[in-house]
A and B are shown apart, each in its own frame.
Chain A
Amino acid sequence: MKPSLASRVVLATLAWAAALIMVFPILWMLVTAFKTEGQAIAIPPLLIFTPKLRSFFDATQNAGYLLFALNSVIVSVGATVLAIAIAFPAAYALAFFPGKRTEFTLMWMLSTKMLPAVGVLMPIYLFLKNVHLLDTRLGLVAIDTLMNLPIVVWMLYSFFKDIPHEILEAARVDGVGPRQQMIHLLLPLAGPGVASTALLSVILAWNEAFWSINVTASHAGTLAAYIARFSAPEGLFWAKLSAASVLAVAPILVFGSLTQRRLVRGLTFGAVK
């Protein structure tokens, strides 16, 4: 039976309302970015105004937006490349040579994600300090790599699981070594899966704020740290903060929407096949 018109209208209204509530802060941020500081704090809020790019200038002028953006790109891509490079052989071993402890290993890796990051802030901070990696891209790359590693291993593992064992076994009997199997068989066969894993890793690293704010400053800070700077002690500058936030999330939003189809397909690959 088709739902009645009334119930469809109610459902649609509810869905739209929920969606609006969820995107409202983002929309409001976008709107505020085009206001002056005075307009931004006006009560009642202004809905009709002449958009100005002033805040964007202010936000980028002294704050060195480009350096932070560059850091974001380097750190997220670097951490992703590194994480995949480490996780790929790990997932290969877990998926194709399972042993008694395989399941435990997987669970253990995931369990590290259950620990709140702040719990290890002190030791990691001190460690970075002692190896002189505080406020360096390398230090942040290392942290982001390790943060994402469990998820990357898990994703690759589940993609590898979908590849028939016999294909690699045939290669093995034919004298094709593990490295060659990974490069010539696994990589092309799990290509879409590896791509969506990489995409997710880039997005996670890009949005990572906690470590970026805590272990970097003016040299290696990413866009997350850049936004945080605008909540300065001298008070909040809403328009500038909004403009900075828009500049910080815009690249990854564009990137995400461009790759969305691939990402969704990759994430549901194993489930719907």
Chain B
Amino acid sequence: MAKLLLEKVEKRYEGFHAIKGVDLSIDDREFVVFVGPSGCGKTTLLRMIAGLEEISGGDFSIDGVRANDIPPDKRGLAMVFQTYALYPHMTVAENMGFALKMAKVPKAEIERKVAHAAEMLQLDKVLARRPKALSGGQRQRVAIGRAIVRNPKGFLFDEPLSNLDAALRVQMRTELVKLNKQLETTMIYVTHDQVEAMTMADRIVVLNGGIVEQVGSPLELYHNPANLFVAGFIGSPKMNLLQGVVSARDDAGADVKLDDGGSIRVAAANIAAAPGLRVTLGIRPEHTALAADGEIGGTADFVEHLGNETLVYVRRPGEAQMIVKADDLAGVRMGDPVRMKPQPARAVLFGPDGKALLRREFHLR
């Protein structure tokens, strides 16, 4: 059991306000990912949860018990560091068994636990090696193994995959998610990679400049970004953002007149906008089609053939560039004039303050 609750949690370094009041509730067995740009406070927040960094304000509790002043070793959490932090002078087995040995756990029991973790992580063949003689992925798994043998209530990961190559990273992602289900423990995972966040999380916490921008499931964040920051951060390639003014409003949606001409329909039931309001219209590249009758015009600046899809970067004079995810056989060439058509049921709107003006219900079929 590990239910974590953060209430108005703050971190003030000398001369720097790193975490500015974070409210967050993490359920038992949940896989939560902290994501955000570099320097937004992900590591700081994780270290505060681990007990390695003092909490300057607010309350933090584990399973209903205030934990602000509980030392790290009494919190029942295990942490895996970005640098792995393996003990270089110990073998893999010794690394994994060290904490238990220090806690005077009987030798036979240590061996049993280490063997079990090693098997789970496919480290049984390298138990006698030193970290120096391991690959990045193996080191990574030793660091996880070291956490597992302690049987913690929760795991804290700080960008554990960032030192691995792309293929291994993809493999380890799924393994970590499996581990979460297998061990039935809470996991908090820090990354600056939104793809990692999307693929692994039960819930994503988007951090920016020491505040929580949004908390939600990957699909929630994808479909209903709460603000422009999340809209731009989640999703790859980035969501297109177009400037305009609401020109008409009815029960089924609104029409937005774009600054560069063209009127776009946004279909949604509850849009908090009246005609005349300046808005930013967000539409993802995969929800925009190339069509002869498209409302938005431009010139194909660059065409990226990725095989399964084709990305068309469209230049619009005086406006931000747009990206369209087109059919792989669209046949658009650099310099071609193109017209683009957003799907009305996928477009989102943001007000002048950058906050979302609508929230879509989405149903998984």
Known A164-B83, A188-B89, A189-B88; judge A173-B50 contact (CB<8 A). Answer: yes
- Closest residue of chain A to B52 (Cβ to Cβ) is A169
Indicate if the CB atoms of B73 and A173 lie closer than 8 Å.
yes
Known A169-B52, A173-B72, A174-B150; judge A164-B85 contact (CB<8 A). Answer: yes
- Tell yes or no: A176 within 8 A of B by CB: yes
Indicate if the CB atoms of B87 and A167 lie closer than 8 Å.
yes
Query: Chain B CB within 10 Å — which of A166, A171, A173 has the most?
Result: A173
Indicate if the CB atoms of A173 and B98 lie closer than 8 Å.
no
Least Cβ–Cβ distance between A143 and chain B, in angstroms: 36
List residues 80-127 of chain B with CB under 8 A from any CB of chain A.
Answer: 81, 83, 85-89, 98-99, 102-103
Known A164-B83, A188-B89; judge A171-B78 contact (CB<8 A). Answer: no
- Tell yes or no: B206 within 8 A of A by CB: no
In the bound assembly, the distance between CA atoms of A166 and B139 in angstroms comes to: 15
Number of interface residues of A (CB under 8 A): 18
Partner of A169, one of B14, B81, B86, B88: B81
- Count: A-B pairs, CB below 8 Å: 57
List residues 47-90 of chain B with CB under 8 A from any CB of chain A.
Answer: 50-52, 72-74, 77-79, 81, 83, 85-89
In the bound assembly, the distance between CA atoms of A174 and B146 in angstroms comes to: 9
Q: Which of A55-63, A86-94, A177-185, A263-271 lies at the interface with chain B?
A: A177-185
Partner of A180, one of B74, B88, B102: B102
- Closest residue of chain B to A167 (Cβ to Cβ) is B85
Partner of A177, one of B78, B86, B98, B102: B102
Residues from chain A with a CB closer than 8 A to the CB of B74 are 175
- Closest residue of chain A to B51 (Cβ to Cβ) is A173
- Tell yes or no: A170 within 8 A of B by CB: yes
Residues from chain B with a CB closer than 8 A to the CB of A164 are 83, 85
Fill in one digit per residue for A242-270: 1 if any B CB lies within 8 Å of its CB, else 0. 00000000000000000000000000000
Residues from chain A with a CB closer than 8 A to the CB of B51 are 173
Indicate if the CB atoms of B52 and A184 lie closer than 8 Å.
no
Residues from chain B with a CB closer than 8 A to the CB of A173 are 50-52, 72-73, 77-79
Indicate if the CB atoms of B102 and A169 lie closer than 8 Å.
no
- Closest residue of chain A to B79 (Cβ to Cβ) is A173
Q: What are 17 residue pairs bridging A and B, where the CB atoms are less than 8 Å apart in the complex?
A: A166-B81, A166-B83, A166-B85, A169-B52, A170-B79, A173-B50, A173-B51, A173-B77, A174-B98, A174-B99, A175-B99, A175-B102, A175-B150, A176-B99, A176-B102, A180-B102, A189-B88
